[in-house]
Structure 1
Amino acid sequence: MSPPQPPSGAARAGRALPQAAAALVVVLLLLVIVRLPWAGDLGMHAATIQRLSHNLFHPGNPLVDADTPSPYYSPWMLALGVVAKVSGLSVFGVLRIAALVGLTLLVTGVWRYVRTLTADRVAPALALLSLLLLWGPALFNWSGFLGLNSLALTVSYPSIFALGLTFHFWAWLTRATREEATWGRWLWLGVLWALILLCHQFTGVVASLGGLAMVIAARPARTALLRPAAALVLGMVLLWLWPYYDFFSLFSAGADLEAIHRPLYGHLAERFGLVLLGVAALVLRFRRDRWDPLALFFALGVLMFAAGGLSGHYSWGRALPAALIPAQLAAALEVVAAGRRAVRVAWACALGAALLVGAWTQVGTLGYVTGKDALPSVVAAKYRTPWVGYHWITPWVKYGDVVMARTMPARQIPAYGPYTVAPGYPDVFLADAGRREAAVARYFAAATPAAERAGIVREYGVRWVVGPGSLAGPGLRQVTAGPGGQVLYRVVP
């Protein structure tokens, strides 16, 4: 028998290309962290760190001046609060540290988990590219969803930290189901599972569905289920003991949470159409192995997503990554797992084309590093401008001051230390949230009498108002103007 031939130059280049592309994407995300573009929930997480850095044990509501618990007070945010308190760094500096830790956990977690599915050295790079680029022809950004543009905007969020831990959790769990894992290892998995759920509840659901699929795929004997059961019990006890909020009360969250998640069920083909390549790969994997963990994981994710849409529990749509992640991983793995070389080449070409489409959809992400003006016009058209922020009010508005502001400003102002009258996000623990929102609406209504506005100001201890220039009137003194025609007013007697 003749010795095996070394791979040709073309073959070596073909294997090096995904690794080089994945490395470039990671470098891009590291440069994004330096800029830390602001959109979505960044203000909420900054406000959470603000409260914890001032009072680790009794921080109160992160957005309004009220003594309530909050699901944002997770173990990870507590650690970041300690960093802010000890180091004296600004909350945005601490969020950059959080982003670096989260990205590191994510990249290493994907690498470790993919290595439990295949020994091929190029597979982790292909998997990372698929997770970030295999989405759809329409841009989609949401916390806990791993599209490149979405990750660039949410890389400092607890959801990314939790997703990174989740991939490590799956890697450890897969190995534990294949080996005679000790009691200690299983109990550690229970601790890690509870940590993920506490840090980001929706990602915890995804982690749980994936973990369930992996245990089912292993088909353990009944006697071997004692250790996983003990891990589950330990995790539940830790969830119950967490002192900063009642984890299990989140199951009774109100209608506001459902309404805000309803858009997850729209435009599915445009947002996720490229993932169909991964679904085809899952079909092939299922035909080869009826107990394939990725196929089972996908099935569980689809069932939960569909159940949420049919029942009106739209927050269950946050489980959609439980369907997307296994499909994206399957698409990448088929390039190295398909039988004949010709089939693998065909899969590589199909995946490469899909990744190029996904990359073009999200090419505006480059602007978070270079700025829009440095982009070619065709790329700049795909750029989504980040939020400006409210640093312009900080020379006057101090920590703990109450600011009257509408919803969008209220999503950013608490990041700098002040409170707002109404929270910018749904808050399941704030009993008078509806009353506060109504008060804000009345205050800014043109027909509201000055006396009623003054009563609202007294009731909520308002010291500042951020609103349009047309708001000027009795009881307000203009202090400074900001972007978009906004004005900061001081409340005066």
Structure 2
Amino acid sequence: MTAATATAATPGTGAGTGAPGLRRRLTAWRPSPYLLVATAFFVFMNVLAWRNNIISDFGQHASAIERIKANPLHPANPLVDLSGDNSPYYSPLIVFLGLLAKATGLPGWVVLKAWGPVNLLVLLTGVAAFSRTLSANRWVPVLALAGMMLLWGIHPAAWSGFLNIGSLTRTLTFPSTFAISLTLHMWALTARAARARASLLRHAFIGACMGMILLIHPITSVGAAAGIAAIVAGWQRGWNRRAAARWALTVAVGVTIAVVWPYYDVFGLIGDTTVDIFHKGLYGRRVITWYGLSVVGVPALVMRWRRHRLDPLVLLYVMDIAIATYGWFSGHYTYGRIFGLLLMPPQFALAVELTRPRPWTRLRKTMAGAAAAAGCIGLAVQVGAVWEIPWSPVPLQHLVTWPSYRWAADRIPVGDVVLTDGWHATHVLPAYGIFLVSGPWPDPSLSVDVRNRRGHDVHVYFSPTATPSVQRLITQRYHARWALLQPGERIPADAHVVATHRATGETLVRLTP
């Protein structure tokens, strides 16, 4: 045996084996730009989201978790003390979180808060996965994430399913955020399946993802399905009977999962107009003030269209615009929530075009300058949304944090019914497992008559002309044991004051049975 051979055979001395080889590999490894940016963003957003008080739809989702925790098979309605049969809030995600709350004994609102980092992790990995299907450049996901967070409008667009910094401080834990994040992963899987012959198992898995998104957030599923159609139309190789059968399997699996889900009938929501009026505000002037900065990515879409007439990002953008337009002209304004996905094609297209190799034409230089200017404006808007900046040279809209209601929730047992007509209170108190007489959002599982009667009774109860006998009748009708009074509302005759909040002026009273 030669000396060279003996050296190579000695354990731990090879170029790629043993401790020295491992050290060399670790030394040679460098984190990607996106890993560094995404890690910093992960910490930053979780800190911002955790410090926020309960706000908006959080209470309704946390309440649904609490109902599953109390009765997994037959949960009550998330907001009122009635059956929750066929309530669309009982999606697979909420049921999973409810079972997690039951197993751990944690309150529903704590479980939902703790789910925020998971949502963000799925989102950040989804951005990376989908970016890799568009370009191998390691800077694309960095610019795509920046575009998603900043290229919105000159006013902060805070709504469920809108992924920007200001909105995510409020909606990071929401099912809509998980649904959109899962959509990015599903699009990445679809792209790989379209470009290369994929197994039946992968097609079935894509269908399972589609079914889950449909159940978790139905309006997001419309945009997610449009993305699948755009990717398959633009990138599918070798269209034949076998390829068609594989995509038919994808659709069949997704539909089957949605059909067999026992908690509610998702297809029964088709044509439902219950919440349309609440989404009208997504249109009008807000098309410019909430989404206008995203137009800097449209030239990038045009460039992609000139290279490939069936480019998936272009097709998806056109289809999303068609969906949003249908929502406006049909009066089904709920389709306006597609704007959260509609902005993604120009955001991702811009990220790809700005990282393409030379030559840098005048058009690309202009596009880069416009993108930089829009990004700076978007950054100022998002920073102003999160922090009040009194010294700002231009007025910035700040997203006001809601008051905490722990002072009341700590005194009201889980499952008790409270009478209140306060805007913040009706959104927040359900997070702690407290029932309302009338909820702030109409649940499609409750009939119009039931919702109207309950809303009318709450209005009558707090009317200045309501007599003690009428108030007592309403209290007994709904088994209410508590009332949360707004400033100026008189204390009922059969009530005992428990606490008053100095900041809001609200008063919690216990009602005599």
The residue type paired with residue 34 of structure 1 is: W
Structure 1 unmatched ranges of 5 or more: 1-15
The CA distance in 2 between the partners of 1:242 and 1:292, in whole Å, is 35
Q: 2:506 aligns with which of 476, 486, 491?
A: 486
The residue type paired with residue 51 of structure 2 is: R
Match of 2:26 in 1: none
**Is this contact kept in 1: 2:119–2:172, CA < 8 A?**
yes
| 1:96–1:412 CA distance, 2 compared to 1 (3 A) | closer
The answer as to 2:199 corresponding to 1:182 is yes
**Is this contact kept in 2: 1:33–1:100, CA < 8 A?**
no
**Is this contact kept in 1: 2:381–2:397, CA < 8 A?**
yes
**1:30 Cα offset (Å):** 2.2
The CA distance in 1 between the partners of 2:472 and 2:229, in whole Å, is 56
Match of 1:411 in 2: 427
Q: Within 5 Å, give how 1:274-285 maps onto structure 2.
A: 274-285=293-304
Match of 1:32 in 2: 48
Match of 2:454 in 1: 436
Q: 2:392 aligns with which of 372, 378, 386?
A: 378
The residue type paired with residue 378 of structure 1 is: S
Between stretches 102-111 and 200-209, larger displacement belongs to 200-209
The residue type paired with residue 265 of structure 1 is: Y
**Is this contact kept in 2: 1:334–1:347, CA < 8 A?**
no
The residue type paired with residue 147 of structure 2 is: S
Q: Within 5 Å, give how 1:385-424 maps onto structure 2.
A: 385-406=400-421, 408=423, 409-424=425-440
TM value normalised by structure 2: 0.87
**1:444 Cα offset (Å):** 1.2
**Is this contact kept in 2: 1:479–1:490, CA < 8 A?**
yes
**Is this contact kept in 1: 2:133–2:191, CA < 8 A?**
yes
What SS does the aligned partner of 2:482 have?
strand
Match of 1:161 in 2: 178
Could you list the per-position Cα deviations for residues 374-397 of structure 1 after superposition, in whole angstroms to 9, with x for gaps in the alignment? Answer: x66439964322112321113321
Match of 2:103 in 1: 86
**1:305 Cα offset (Å):** 0.5
What SS does the aligned partner of 2:257 have?
helix
The CA distance in 2 between the partners of 1:414 and 1:63, in whole Å, is 6
Q: 1:235 aligns with which of 239, 254, 268?
A: 254
**1:131 Cα offset (Å):** 0.6
What SS does the aligned partner of 2:499 have?
strand
**Is this contact kept in 2: 1:363–1:382, CA < 8 A?**
no
**Is this contact kept in 2: 1:134–1:274, CA < 8 A?**
yes
The CA distance in 2 between the partners of 1:345 and 1:89, in whole Å, is 54
Match of 2:470 in 1: 452
Size of the aligned set, in residue pairs, is 472
**1:315 Cα offset (Å):** 1.0
Match of 1:461 in 2: 479
The CA distance in 1 between the partners of 2:500 and 2:53, in whole Å, is 22
**Is this contact kept in 1: 2:49–2:170, CA < 8 A?**
no
**1:36 Cα offset (Å):** 4.0
Aligned-pair RMSD on alpha carbons? 2.2
**1:60 Cα offset (Å):** 1.5
What SS does the aligned partner of 1:285 have?
helix
| 1:68–1:80 CA distance, 2 compared to 1 (3 A) | closer
The residue type paired with residue 485 of structure 2 is: G
**Is this contact kept in 2: 1:278–1:328, CA < 8 A?**
yes
Could you list the per-position Cα deviations for residues 458-481 of structure 1 after superposition, in whole angstroms to 9, with x for gaps in the alignment? Answer: 111111011135321311221111
**Is this contact kept in 2: 1:301–1:321, CA < 8 A?**
no
**1:39 Cα offset (Å):** 2.3
The CA distance in 2 between the partners of 1:53 and 1:67, in whole Å, is 15
The CA distance in 2 between the partners of 1:392 and 1:459, in whole Å, is 26
What SS does the aligned partner of 1:484 have?
coil
The answer as to 2:361 corresponding to 1:352 is no
Between stretches 295-304 and 134-143, larger displacement belongs to 134-143
Q: 1:119 aligns with which of 136, 146, 156?
A: 136
| 1:150–1:227 CA distance, 2 compared to 1 (3 A) | same
**Is this contact kept in 2: 1:28–1:366, CA < 8 A?**
no
Between stretches 105-114 and 226-235, larger displacement belongs to 226-235
TM value normalised by structure 1: 0.91
**1:321 Cα offset (Å):** 2.8
Match of 1:8 in 2: none
The CA distance in 2 between the partners of 1:360 and 1:108, in whole Å, is 26
**Is this contact kept in 2: 1:298–1:326, CA < 8 A?**
yes
What SS does the aligned partner of 1:46 have?
helix
What SS does the aligned partner of 2:227 have?
helix
The CA distance in 1 between the partners of 2:36 and 2:66, in whole Å, is 39
| 1:95–1:39 CA distance, 2 compared to 1 (3 A) | same
**Is this contact kept in 1: 2:127–2:144, CA < 8 A?**
yes
| 1:33–1:384 CA distance, 2 compared to 1 (3 A) | closer
Between stretches 105-114 and 228-237, larger displacement belongs to 228-237
**Is this contact kept in 2: 1:19–1:122, CA < 8 A?**
no
| 1:233–1:53 CA distance, 2 compared to 1 (3 A) | same
| 1:45–1:413 CA distance, 2 compared to 1 (3 A) | same
The CA distance in 1 between the partners of 2:511 and 2:110, in whole Å, is 31
Q: 1:207 aligns with which of 205, 221, 224?
A: 224
The CA distance in 2 between the partners of 1:401 and 1:416, in whole Å, is 10
Q: 1:330 aligns with which of 333, 349, 363?
A: 349
What SS does the aligned partner of 2:319 have?
helix
The residue type paired with residue 426 of structure 1 is: P
Q: Within 5 Å, give how 1:216-235 maps onto structure 2.
A: 216-219=233-236, 221-223=239-241, 224-235=243-254
Could you list the per-position Cα deviations for residues 363-414 of structure 1 after superposition, in whole angstroms to 9, with x for gaps in the alignment? Answer: 03554xxxx6xx6643996432211232111332101111001152111111
Q: 2:381 aligns with which of 343, 350, 361?
A: 361
What SS does the aligned partner of 2:413 have?
coil
**1:48 Cα offset (Å):** 1.1
